[in-house]
Amino acid sequence: MELRKKYLKNVKKIVVKVGSSTLTHKSGLLNLNQIEKIVRQIADLHNEGKEVVLVTSGAIAAGIGKLGFKNRPKTIPEKQAAAAVGQGILMHMYEKIFSEYGKVAAQILITKDDISHRTRFLNARNTFFALAEMGAIPIVNENDAIIVDEIKFGDNDTLSATVASFVEADLLILLSDIEGLYDCNPRVNPNAKLIHEVKEITEEIENCAGGAGSSLGTGGMATKISAGRISTAAGVSMVIANGEHENVIRDIVNLKEVGTLFAPNEHPLPLRKHWITFSTDIKGKLVVDNGAFEAVFYNHKSLLPKGLVNVEGFFEQGQIVSIENLKGIEIGRGITNYSSSEIEQIKGLNSDEIEDKLGYKNYDEIIHCNNMVIS
Please tell me whether 222 is known to bind a ligand.
Answer: yes
Q: Is there a binding annotation on residue 336?
A: no
What is the rounded CA–CA span in Å between residue 154 and residue 344?
34
Calpha distance 359→336 (Å, rounded): 19
197 and 259 Cβ atoms separated by less than 8 Å? no
Q: How many residues does the chain have?
A: 375
Sequence-distant (≥ 6) Cβ neighbours of residue 193 within 8 angstroms = 182, 183
- Find out whether 359 is annotated in a ligand binding site: no
- Is 364 annotated in a binding site? The answer is no
Pairing mode of beta strands 260-262, 284-288: unpaired
Residue 215 counted as an annotated binding residue: no
- Does residue 44 have a known ligand-binding role? no
Alpha helix locations (H) across the chain? 2-8, 20-23, 32-47, 59-67, 76-100, 112-116, 118-133, 156-166, 203-207, 221-233, 248-253, 271-278, 290-293, 340-346, 354-358
Cβ atoms of 151 and 111 closer than 8 Å: yes
Element (H, E) at 322: strand 320-324
Q: Is 144 annotated as a binding residue?
A: yes
Ligand-binding annotation for 221, yes or no, is yes
56 is in an annotated binding site: no
220 among the known binding-site residues?
A: yes
Q: Which DSSP helix (H) or strand (E) runs through 105?
A: strand 105-110
Judged by DSSP in three states, 101 sits in coil
Q: Is 219 annotated as a binding residue?
A: yes
Binding-site sequence positions for substrate: 57, 144, 156
Binding-site sequence positions for ATP: 17, 176-177, 218-224
Binding-site sequence positions: 17, 57, 144, 156, 176-177, 218-224
